[in-house]
Amino acid sequence: MSDFEFDINLLISLVEARPVLWDKTDDTYKHRNETKKAWREVCICLQEDFETLGDAQKNAFGEYWHNLLNTAE
């Protein structure tokens, strides 16, 4: 289904370390730019060459991890 290898525990720990992605009481939770920045950080941790990917590949990669995390809840 996907070309991405994954470690769900790593993903969970990376997201947990960034409350802007999950903590509704965090002041920056509703700030879209802060959320995008945090997801970019997560993606870079998961895929070292993330910044060199094309836009379509970046979007597919980010959506894959985001969807994977949502199914793990």
User: Which tens digits make up the pLDDT trace of 28-51?
Assistant: 888 999 998 998 898 888 888 888
Q: Does 3 have pLDDT greater than 70?
A: no
pLDDT recorded at residue 1? 37
Q: What is the mean pLDDT of residues 9-16?
A: 90
Question: In whole angstroms, what separates CA 68 from the centre of its chain?
Answer: 10
Number of domains observed in the structure of the chain: 1
Burial category of 21 from C-beta neighbours within 10 Å (exposed 0-12, middle 13-18, buried 19 and up): buried
Is residue 9 domain-resident? Answer: no
Q: Which domain holds residue 55?
A: 34-73
Q: Is there a domain that residue 18 lies in? A: no
- pTM for the predicted model, two decimal places: 0.74
Contacts of 26 (CB under 8 A, 6+ apart): 19, 20
**Position 7 in a domain:** no
